[in-house]
Structure 1
Amino acid sequence: MASDRLIHTDSYARWVHAIADARDGEVVYIPHRREDPAITATVADRPSIRVERGPWPVEVSLRCLPSGSVVHCLPSTPLLTLRTALADLGIQLIGSSVPDDWWTPSASSRFREGVASISDPTT
């Protein structure tokens, strides 16, 4: 969503940084296939964040993780498919909603509502 200018890059980067800061050791950041390199550089601006661009869709790459791994994701189509793809592997999937102050004027209210429904698996 940052690459599409729907959310503020600095807010997105702070979210990734908070996840990395809460973990011991290195975390892997898998950027969206269309992510602008400047966004990737902003997000992965510390040694504890390793960028990995795989040749496969993220759903396939993450199925290779060991049991006990934790995956964080904003609401997106991968979040929808990852719920199924990772369910039987012992990989924890944490979907995060997008705070209101992250949105840019480019994100319509209809889009925001649609994204909110992806965040909440009960809707």
Structure 2
Amino acid sequence: MSLKDDSFPSSTAFDTIQASLNTTPTSRTEAIKSGAAIFGFKLKNTAGAEAAWHIDLKHSGTVGRGEAPAGKKADVTLSMADEDFGKLVAGTAKAQNMFMSGKMKIRGNIMKATRLEGVMARVREDGREGGVGKPKL
């Protein structure tokens, strides 16, 4: 099932992240080990609509809709514009710079948020190696 939402162009990245986690059982295990958190994402599109996705790198190594898996709570939630999320995933923007400039708001464990950069780098690396393809944003 695709996680893409046509009104949020960068949401295709969540499918790419899931594909990266599914590449091999080792990929998923390594991601859970390095992420060790549930990351929630609240995105706002150009029309002002909001939607949420999550990446569970604490328990299951899965990606889904909503701020957290059913019955669980995100360790950290990142709120930003859809366009800025696209830049973050593509590697053209850094999370720290986005946070410092006010383009990204963080709720929850800010230290866990720092682990996200490594997760995104792995997704981009998989794309370069021909594994899942670079997110099309």
Scaled by the length of structure 1, the TM-score of the pair is 0.34
Rg (Cα) greater in structure? 1
Q: TM-score, normalised by structure 2?
A: 0.32
